[in-house]
Amino acid sequence: MSPKVVVPHFSVISGAQVSRVLTGNETRTIKLVEEAYRAHGDGGTVNPPSYFLSFPDRTSSRIIALPASVGGSVRVDGIKWISSFPENIKSGIPRASAVLVLNDYDTGYPFACLESSIISAARTAASAALATDWLTRERVKPRRLGFVGAGLIARHIHTYLVAAGWDFEEVGVYDLSAENAAAFRSYLAAGEASVRVSVRQDAEDLVRSSDLVVFATVAAQPHVRDPRWFAHNPLVLNVSLRDLAPEVLLESANVLDDVEHCLKAGTSPHLTEQLTGSRDFVDGTLADVMAGSVRVPADRPVVFSPFGLGVLDLAVGKSVYDRVRADGDLRVVEDFFHELDRYGVPGHTGGPSS
């Protein structure tokens, strides 16, 4: 007789609950992201291509679906549905909003919907902090940090770098909006009184004066084209993916989070592949670096281009769910699954089998 299969309860987890779980636990989130990268590198995940919903009447906006599955001890399937509407900023609300749906590993039933803009920002920042660690282990440690783009992602990356133990002498900021740059500078200065924080006059000034450069913008196409800006061999976190022209990548060592995912959708690596007709400029993935199969050079700029893998969102989201559940704070929608009998007899729900 086959074991009884229980349909899980369906729960909704708010952004406030997500924030309570993740805030102050940045090092744990970095560890979760590292484990997810290793599992992905070892073939323990499924991460199909993302789907982009674009709009002919709103060309700057899009909504992206990121389906994924993580095996091992995580055991969860799901999908992130994240929108990017840059025009929101003019109205004083964030550009991105998102939900994450978790599906039971055994039955396929969705068992939770989580507010996911915070999860997305956290896994992005954790990925950046993790890359900074691994990509500088055989290089001079960066002491001067620079941000091109002064939004929410930049703030999260700074938080995670500090939580990971990075101690910078200087932090520079550049943003097309002088108001945003000034606000981010004030935020940074308030949190690090002993660190020199300055607003730079342009992107070139920012890049040339930084050992660790973070691109976190909404740029739709490359605007940084001169490889000479990077002659001092910085580590570049190409988080927004479209700021750098192929000329810069061709003079750099290039580490991606996933080759197939990064080489699409008009990203800097994708444009470089189109220009050269080859992937020879790609040195490997972050998982390759962690496994020791790729060495990071000390005599060239190093560019980390993370497309953003759905498996990272699932790993972080499942951890948030487990914490909220353990604390007894799940908000269950009792009658979400109504007809569970083939012949119309209302069924009952149990709990997640994973």
| pLDDT value for 132 | 98
CATH number, domain of 27, equals: 3.30.1780.10
Residue 171, in any domain of the structure = yes
Residues with Cβ within 8 Å of residue 55, at least 6 apart in sequence: 61, 62
Same domain? 88 vs 109: yes
143 & 64 share domain: no
Residue 4 included in any domain: no
pLDDT recorded at residue 345: 62
Q: How far apart are the C-alpha atoms of 31 and 240, rounded to whole Å?
A: 22
Residues 138 and 278 in one domain: yes
- pTM of the model as a whole: 0.92
| Same domain? 188 vs 62 | no
Q: How many domains does the chain divide into?
A: 2
pLDDT at 250: 98
Range of the domain at 89: 10-119+310-333
Q: Which residue has the tokens 């073939």?
A: 43
Same structural domain, 201 and 278? yes
321 and 248 belong to one structural domain: no
**pLDDT for residue 352:** 61
The contacts of residue 170 (CB under 8 Å, 6+ apart) are 143, 144, 145, 195, 196, 197, 198, 209
Q: Cβ contacts of residue 267 below 8 Å, gap of 6+?
A: 241, 242, 305, 307
Predicted pLDDT at 214: 98
168 and 76 in one domain? no
Q: Are residues 206 and 327 in the same domain?
A: no
Domain membership of residue 282 (yes or no) is yes
Asked if residue 99 and residue 51 are part of one domain, the reply reads yes
Task: List the pLDDT tens digit at each of the 354 positions of the chain.
Answer: 566 778 899 999 999 999 999 999 999 999 999 999 999 999 999 999 999 999 999 998 999 999 999 999 999 999 999 999 988 988 988 888 999 999 999 999 999 999 999 999 999 999 999 999 999 999 999 999 999 999 999 999 999 999 999 999 999 999 999 999 999 999 999 987 789 999 999 999 999 999 999 999 989 899 999 999 999 999 999 999 999 999 999 999 999 999 999 999 999 999 999 999 999 999 999 999 999 999 999 999 999 999 999 999 999 999 999 999 999 999 999 989 988 777 776 555 555 654
Q: What is the pLDDT of residue 342?
A: 76
Residue 352 domain-assigned? Answer: no
pLDDT attached to residue 341 = 79
The H or E element that residue 118 is part of is helix 117-134
Please provide the size of the chain in residues: 354
* 354 falls within a domain: no
Whether residue 171 is found in the same domain as residue 274: yes
> 179 and 95, same structural domain?
no
Q: List strands edge to edge, sheet with 170-174.
A: 196-199, 170-174, 144-148, 212-215, 235-237, 302-305, 253-256, 282-285
The whole-angstrom separation of Cα 158 and Cα 184 is 11
Chain centroid to CA 51: how far?
16
Query: Are 56 and 146 part of one and the same domain?
Result: no
| 343 in any annotated domain | no
- Residue 40: how many CA atoms within 13 Å on its side-chain side? 30
- Within-domain flag for 33: yes
Q: For residues 96 and 266, what is the distance between their CA atoms, to the nearest angstrom?
A: 19
The domain spanning residue 233 has which CATH number? Answer: 3.40.50.720
Examine residue 112 and state whether it is found in any structural domain, yes or no: yes
